[in-house]
Structures are given as C-alpha cells and as structure tokens.
Structure 1
C-alpha cells in the first residue's frame, strides 16, 4: 500500500511524501487551482498558486526593505566619514597649538551638530600649564577617564566632566570620549577627556554604536598630543 493511503497518516508524513514525490502535482495539476487557502491579506479564500504568489511578493518586499535600509545606512556612514575627514584636515591646519582644544570643540559642534562640547587635557608641557583647558580636573575624573575602554553614552548622571560644558544644567544626554595615546580601547593612561552634551535625551543613547565616536576620540588624541611636547626652541 502506498504511504499516501495509510489511515494513520499525519501532516509530517504528507509533507514528506509530497517532497519525495513532486510528480504528484503533475498527475493532479487541478489541485493547484482547486485547493482553497486563507489569504494572508484578508479573509478571502485563494488558490494554492495565488497563496504562493502572495508569499513570494511578501518575501520580495521584505528583501527590498532590507536593501533600502542597507543603502540608507551606507549613505549615512559615508556622510559621517566625510565629516570626520574634513574635521581632521582642519585640525591639521591649526598652527597655534594652544588653539587646538578650541578648534576641536568648535569643529565638533559645526560638523556633527553637537550643541555643547567640553574638553580638558592634563599632563601637558610646561608652556601650556594653567590654560583654561587644563583647569578644574580632579584626580577622580582622571582615573574615571582612564577606566573607560570605549566611549560612554547615556543620560546626564551628574558626572564631574559635565561641569566643563557651557550650560551643564541643560544637558539631557552626553558622550564621554577618553583621550589617550594609541588606540582608544587601549589600557594606556588617559591624558584628557572630551565631553559631548545634548538637550535631546536620545542623542547619546546607551544602545548606540560608538565606532565613529571612537574615531573622533583617536583623531582628537593625535592632535592634542602636540600639547604634551615641549615647543621647539624652549
């Protein structure tokens, strides 16, 4: 007896039979149009062929949406990379080393539309001691900066570095970027901290990606390394 006629037949055995015997539909082609299924787009009944076509259209639509999302993300990433490049070129053009912290903060505000930016650097060469960008940093803040192995993003929790921003009380979310020699995820001691603040509580969310923030930290660290070297002629 053929397995398709077995009384104790279940759905799994039916499915297995049809997979093993595709010629079944050739012998019973009328079933493709006579079998009625519920449509995925309403309560009306459709044929098996129509239902398959609906499923295929839905799958194609899903793939199209994924492709569009990938294209959009690629375009956004390209735009951000271009801004970082332009900002880096501007920093390289700064001849007065004392102006670097200001140029970094101003560039981030302009290129990345960040409302508030604060920066502090320590361990600088003698001629730069006492500059505004070196003042108001506790040992705890320095230790905290060193402890960060990646940019911190989240709500304003009252961290000391928030006070370095022009209007700290208006900040709802912030990003803290450690400045250090070498890769931003290294264990080398921090020599500074970059603070980005926004009135938007979701601008710097804890779940956001930090790759571009890490690149910003590395570029700022490379530029500010000049503050740690004694100027020529001294």
Structure 2
C-alpha cells in the first residue's frame, strides 16, 4: 500500500469527486472559536465581502454627493463674480459666497500688484510675497506667518488651520487666505483641486478691474 502523502491538488480533486464530505468537515468559527461547517464558513465570508462592498459603495455615493454639492456652490460663486460691476463688488461677492455657501468663517485677501483705496491693497511684507510666489498650488495646514494672522485682527490668534491660495492672472498678484478655528478644516493632505479653481476664478474676476 502506498504511504505517499497526497498533494494539495489530489486532495482538492478528491473533495470535488466527493462533495458530500465537505458537509462533514468542521472549521473554527472566526470569532467564537466554535466548530462550524465549511459551508457556514463560506456563507460568513460571502457576507463579510458583501458588507465591505456595501460600505465602499456608501463611501463612493457620499463622495459623489459632496462633489456635486461643491460643484453647485462653485457655480453660484462663478455667477456672482461674473455679475459684479466693480472690484469692490467682486470682493463682496467672493466674501459672501465663501462665508454663506462654503461656511468658511474667516477670509482675507491681499493684492500687491497695483494700488487702490480698498483694504485689500494694504502693504504686504516681502516674506509673504515670496511665500505666495513660491506656491505652485494652494497650501493647507495649521501654520501661517504672523503677518497673515494679523490680517484677521483679534481672531488671528485663535485660528488653527489655513488655506493659502495664490492669485495670479495677467496684472494680478496676491493671496487669498481662508482660515478656521477648527484644526481639521484645512489639513495638509486635503485635495486642492477646488481651491485651485477658486484661486483662478477670483484672480480672473479681480483682473477685470485691478
């Protein structure tokens, strides 16, 4: 009689040829440790997979809904900027949209290309100009120069997260800063696509009058 140990392929083929044996084989329950049949174990695995797929689907739906909501807000913001008939109206529309539609509690903007009598043309130090000039895309996080914090007045010392968005369009050079007391509102790993679009829209609107 042969005493050779059967190979894995032989065992699999044997079970295929004798499927009734599967019902007699017990395996440990993944959570309680009690013995259950292979069939029950397979059902549990399928349920776990279905649950994971359902959770992923919910995440995709949530992301899609969030993107739709942001897209609609960007649309309304764009319309407001297009309808503005002066630089003051552009800035007012921008601030209102960011505050009312996007619920951003603190917004500050500075323009250093040109001159005007609006607060947004107040002098800006060289370090901040260099910082903005070096930004290839918006920068988010919990740090901001003291000069930028000063733009927010008394609230500056209480702010815990910032989104710095450079303004560049023809004769426009400046910086749009959004801030919050919530440290998780603008975090370093967050996506910057919409912030980029916001900077481009604001720059183009300002360039019409600056």
| TM-score, normalised with respect to structure 2 | 0.90
CA distance in 2, matches of 1:64, 1:208: 25
Structure 1 window deviating more from structure 2 (40-49 vs 192-201): it is 40-49
Greater displacement, 166-175 / 54-63: 166-175
Separation of aligned partners in 2, 1:53 and 1:172: 48
Q: How does 1:51-70 map to 2 (within 5 A)?
A: 51-70=41-60
Contact 1:118 1:195 (8 Å CA) reproduced: yes
**d(CA) in 1 for partners of 2:56, 2:134:** 38
d(CA) in 2 for partners of 1:18, 1:212 = 57
SS at match of 1:123: coil
1:134 matched to 2:100? The reply is: no
Which stretches in structure 1 are left out of the alignment for 5+ residues?
A: 183-188, 229-234
Following superposition, the deviation at residue 77 of structure 1 comes to 0.7
Moved over 4 A (4+): none
Q: For structure 2, list consecutive stretches of 5 or more residues without a partner in the other structure.
A: none
Please point out which of 12, 18, 32 is paired with 1:42.
Answer: 32
After superposition, the Cα gap between the structure-2 partners of 1:102 and 1:164, relative to the gap in structure 1 and judged at 3 Å, is farther
RMSD: 2.2
Name the counterpart of 2:197: 215
Q: Residue 225 of structure 1 aligns with which residue?
A: 207
How many residues in Structure 1 have an aligned counterpart in Structure 2? 209
Asked if structure 2 preserves the Cα contact closer than 8 Å seen for 1:105 and 1:119, the reply is no
TM-score (norm 1): 0.81
Q: 8 Å contact 1:173–1:202 — kept in the other structure? A: yes
